[in-house]
Amino acid sequence: MAGKLYIVPTPVGNLEDMTLRAVKVLQEADLILAEDTRTSSVLLKHYDIHKPLQSHHKFNEHQTVQLVKERILAGLNVALISDAGTPGISDPGFLLARTCAEEGIEVQTLPGATACIPAIVSSGLPCDRFAFEGFLPQKKGRQTHLQELAREPRTMVFYESPYRLVKTLEQFAEYFGPERPCSVAREISKLHEEHKRGTLAQVLEWFREHEPKGEIVIVVGGAPPEKAQKKKRYGPTGEQEE
């Protein structure tokens, strides 16, 4: 009888954000796949979890995914964790989940920590509908994508490195306009959690004067109606309608 794949969120900051169910699943798993075994060892030790640990990250997942699938088919229950947050959201996990789902293996994803939701809710910007963009492309296609996002009417959420934050905010101000509302969340659920809100120009000026550190989530308000992109509509024949 085949085992199961469990996708288990881990804290983005405070270790106490781990759910009781997540701890139980990791305690009972036959194998834990970790993005970085050194980072995950700290969490597992904190909860007194002693299970076989195997590295599974973006540099080796294409080589290991078939082997993991075969082990699950052979009856092992495997739990996948990332360094922080929910695997598959800007972290390894999608490829393994898709491979197992296509094979008919049961995939259970536990609800739990992720950085984007606290950031957008705390921003004060509309969060009934939003566009999660994760990390923007560093080079190829970046400018084209920013041009497209300039007309996005929904609130947008981005992940960014503290080393690239100022440059990214400068580009946002250029493409979206310096008066667009913005919130930058830093070190969510950690001791020095911080939220800076204002226009893109104001937040940019703050981080030009204060070196950013830690994990960063940027939330930017959507385009006003007069600048929002008109959605294409297609009739039953496939022809575009006005």
Domain boundary among 109, 126, 149: 109
First to last CA, the chain: 55
What local confidence, expressed as pLDDT, does residue 227 receive? 76
What local confidence, expressed as pLDDT, does residue 205 receive? 98
Residue 43 lies in a domain: yes
Mean pLDDT, all residues of the chain: 92
What local confidence, expressed as pLDDT, does residue 112 receive? 92
Number of domains comprising the chain: 2
Residue 159 lies in a domain: yes
141 and 67 in a single domain? The answer is: no
104 and 148 in a single domain? The answer is: no
Domain boundary among 59, 78, 109: 109
Residue 69 lies in a domain: yes
What local confidence, expressed as pLDDT, does residue 80 receive? 97
Quote the pTM value: 0.87
CATH code: domain of residue 99: 3.40.1010.10
Per-residue pLDDT of the chain (242 residues; tens, 9 = 90+): 899 999 999 999 999 999 999 999 999 999 999 999 999 999 999 999 999 999 999 898 899 999 999 999 999 999 999 999 999 998 889 999 999 999 999 999 999 999 999 999 999 999 999 999 999 998 889 999 999 999 999 999 999 999 999 999 999 999 999 999 999 999 999 999 999 999 999 999 999 999 999 999 999 999 998 777 554 444 445 544 44
92 and 165 in a single domain? The answer is: no
Domain boundary among 71, 91, 109: 109
Q: What distances in angstroms separate CA 72 from CA 35, 69, 78, 169, one per listed residue?
A: 18, 5, 7, 44
Residue 231 lies in a domain: no
Show the domain range for 198: 116-220
Angle between helices 165-176 and 200-209 (to 10 degrees): 160
87 and 122 in a single domain? The answer is: no
Other CB atoms closer than 10 Å to residue 198's CB: what's the count? Answer: 14
